[in-house]
Structure 1
Amino acid sequence: MSSFRAAAIQMRSGVDPQRNAADLARYVAEAVAKGAVYVQTPEMTGALQRDRKALASVLKAENDDVIVRTASELAAKHGIHLHIGSTAIARDDGKIANRAFLFGPDGNILTRYDKIHMFDVDLDNGESWRESAVYAPGADTVVIDLPFARLGFAICYDVRFPQLFRAQALAGASVITAPAAFTRQTGEAHWHVLQRARAIENGAFMVSAAQGGVHEDGRETYGHSMIVAPWGEILAEADHAEPAVIVADIDPALSAAARSKVPNLKNARPFGLVVENDGQSERHSVAS
């Protein structure tokens, strides 16, 4: 594995996939001009649309999706690995996937990942989200070997489930990812600490492209796309909510070095959980 330059594209996707595809092409060209060979986009690159009927009206199967087609063309044109953080895809069973794609330098799809954890929350500012009412959750996390690193996939809310990233790290991933469309409220409270925590506890680089700003559908996202080193340093950040392209050089050897300094992946042990209640004890097994 060798050093490489990664880019995270911060977008403000609207409701029209065609316009978002045009923005994608412009931002990818900027990332390539900055030397990036791996380029990542945010969650819901293709469209941010809260209205279910309106989303359904632009929804396409994978083979007909404009973002999938555009990304394939851009990866081949620039000879890069292009990671679409996610876009909404119509599944064969009539449901919708929040799906990430990785395209190789020949334009072919190398792998896919469907978001596992659904953002079903009621925030204290009045926002309410029920992703499970729209999207079908995925069942498997994914890691893939690239010429320069083993890469792990996640999307947005997945970042709050450390066991997913631990599984990727134990499988040898030196770069983990969580492209997102974090709300402004949750982003202000938790975005930075979650990004750094996932990097530190797994001794891995964390690359997370984000949506930012006030979108056409009325939602507001936090932005602050980040690239974090295994020791927790922020290597690059779009420290605002405006569209931007950030880049950083990644040396996978630094992941191995961090894991040798703090070998928590090796030192983890199985343990039980004992629940004491009115003089009675119940013991449960817990995965390490």
Structure 2
Amino acid sequence: MPPLRIAVTQPAIAADVAENGRRVRSLLRSAAGAGARLVQFPEGMLSGYAKAQVRDWADVDWELVRAELSLTMEVAAELRVWVVLGSAHQLTPPNRPHNSLYVISDQGRLVDRYDKRLCSNTEITRFYSPGFRPVVFDVDGFRFGCAICIEVNFPDLFAEYERLGVDCVLLSAYPIDAIFATKARAHAAIESYWLGVSVPAQCAGLMASELIGPDGGTLTRVSDPDAGGLAIADLDRSAPDLHIPLNLARPWRATARDGEIYRSRRVDDPRSTDRTCV
């Protein structure tokens, strides 16, 4: 199967929704011009993120958010690229919005939406309604999963995506500490899949947006958010340096997690059950 080229972005997020939409579409055109088939954006990219650009949902022009989303879908169809775009998703008042990732196909259709399941204390008590389901989707034979920010602290979520057969998890975030990047690389290496990380330019002092390989190494990262905020790399199953994580480690770890290979070799030996013998 041929490689799949994807782009991770690190744009600045503004309080102006229209400006955010323009930045998204500009980066889509740059990424598509470089051959990307999928482009990932940070948490809260379109609407603004709570506590940063948004202090009160009443201040958000939801009609403008929907209009900018529609324009972005049109550009995705024009360029034939998939888009994973962070934004708050309005619910029926008085319910708080979801913290979401919109999944837009290369036909310009909204095919799914990931709603952040594991929110922070401030998010869940003041700003957002939680989601309750994983999201997976396929692009050119590669399967993707979605996660958002603080969910990096919950290994079971990343193990769940491994069981769902993803090749790459797209983790969009607005992190507040540099250890976030280390945690992301650990998940990629443990689960033996690619992991895309997209954060805003506001987080450049902590980390860069990057694409992490199944071995935990960085394939590419945004070197200068002020100079475009875009990094592109290929998901290549045939890369020689990925043979061990993709073809050996991942299948073996699935066998190990199942446990039958160990249960079938359980011994009945008093020297095993007696913990005090020498």
**Please, which moves more after superposition, 135-144 or 246-255?**
246-255
In structure 2, distance between residues paired with 1:5 and 1:88: 27
1:109: which partner in 2?
Answer: 110
- When normalised by structure 1's length, the TM-score is 0.79
2:247: which partner in 1?
Answer: 260
Gaps of 5+ in 2: 260-278
In structure 2, distance between residues paired with 1:43 and 1:18: 17
1:37: which partner in 2?
Answer: 37
CA-to-partner distance for each residue in 1:160-204, whole Å, 9 max, x for gaps? 111111111111101111111112xx1x2x122112111111110
CA-to-partner distance for each residue in 1:46-95, whole Å, 9 max, x for gaps? 1235376643222427x9613421221121010111111x2012112532
1:245: which partner in 2?
Answer: 230
2:196: which partner in 1?
Answer: 207
In structure 2, distance between residues paired with 1:236 and 1:113: 25
Q: Work out whether residues 7 and 36 of structure 2, in 8 Å CA contact, stay in contact via their aligned partners in 1.
A: yes
CA-to-partner distance for each residue in 1:112-164, whole Å, 9 max, x for gaps? 110011122xxxxxxxx445411001111111222230111111111111111
Q: Work out whether residues 227 and 234 of structure 1, in 8 Å CA contact, stay in contact via their aligned partners in 2.
A: yes
Fraction of identical pairs, as percent: 21
**3-state SS of paired residue (1:111):** strand
In structure 1, distance between residues paired with 2:224 and 2:153: 22
Q: Work out whether residues 99 and 115 of structure 1, in 8 Å CA contact, stay in contact via their aligned partners in 2.
A: yes
CA-to-partner distance for each residue in 1:187-228, whole Å, 9 max, x for gaps? x2x1221121111111100011111227xxxxx874510101
Aligned-partner residue type, residue 178 of structure 1: L
Within 5 Å, give how 1:1-288 maps onto structure 2. Answer: 1-46=1-46, 47-50=48-51, 54-60=56-62, 65-84=66-85, 86-92=86-92, 94-120=95-121, 129-183=122-176, 186=177, 188=178, 190-213=179-202, 222-239=206-223, 242=226, 244-252=229-237, 258-262=245-249, 263-269=252-258
Gaps of 5+ in 1: 121-128, 215-219, 271-288
Q: Work out whether residues 118 and 157 of structure 1, in 8 Å CA contact, stay in contact via their aligned partners in 2.
A: yes
Aligned-partner residue type, residue 135 of structure 1: Y
**Number of equivalenced pairs:** 252
Aligned-partner residue type, residue 234 of structure 1: T
Which structure features the higher share of helix residues? 2
Superposition RMSD on alpha carbons, in Å? 2.5
**Please, which moves more after superposition, 246-255 or 32-41?**
246-255
In structure 2, distance between residues paired with 1:222 and 1:11: 14
CA change 1:229–1:52 in 2 (3 A) is closer
Aligned-partner residue type, residue 226 of structure 1: E
Which protein has the larger Cα radius of gyration, Structure 1 or Structure 2? 2
Q: Work out whether residues 146 and 169 of structure 2, in 8 Å CA contact, stay in contact via their aligned partners in 1.
A: yes
Which structure features the higher share of strand residues? 1
Q: Work out whether residues 13 and 202 of structure 2, in 8 Å CA contact, stay in contact via their aligned partners in 1.
A: no
CA change 1:111–1:252 in 2 (3 A) is farther
Q: Work out whether residues 27 and 245 of structure 1, in 8 Å CA contact, stay in contact via their aligned partners in 2.
A: yes
**3-state SS of paired residue (1:87):** strand
Q: Work out whether residues 9 and 222 of structure 2, in 8 Å CA contact, stay in contact via their aligned partners in 1.
A: no
Q: Work out whether residues 152 and 180 of structure 2, in 8 Å CA contact, stay in contact via their aligned partners in 1.
A: no
Aligned-partner residue type, residue 200 of structure 1: A
In structure 2, distance between residues paired with 1:245 and 1:64: 23
- When normalised by structure 2's length, the TM-score is 0.82
In structure 1, distance between residues paired with 2:67 and 2:206: 26
Q: Work out whether residues 237 and 246 of structure 2, in 8 Å CA contact, stay in contact via their aligned partners in 1.
A: no
CA-to-partner distance for each residue in 1:253-278, whole Å, 9 max, x for gaps? 567852432222221157xxxxxxxx
In structure 2, distance between residues paired with 1:265 and 1:170: 8
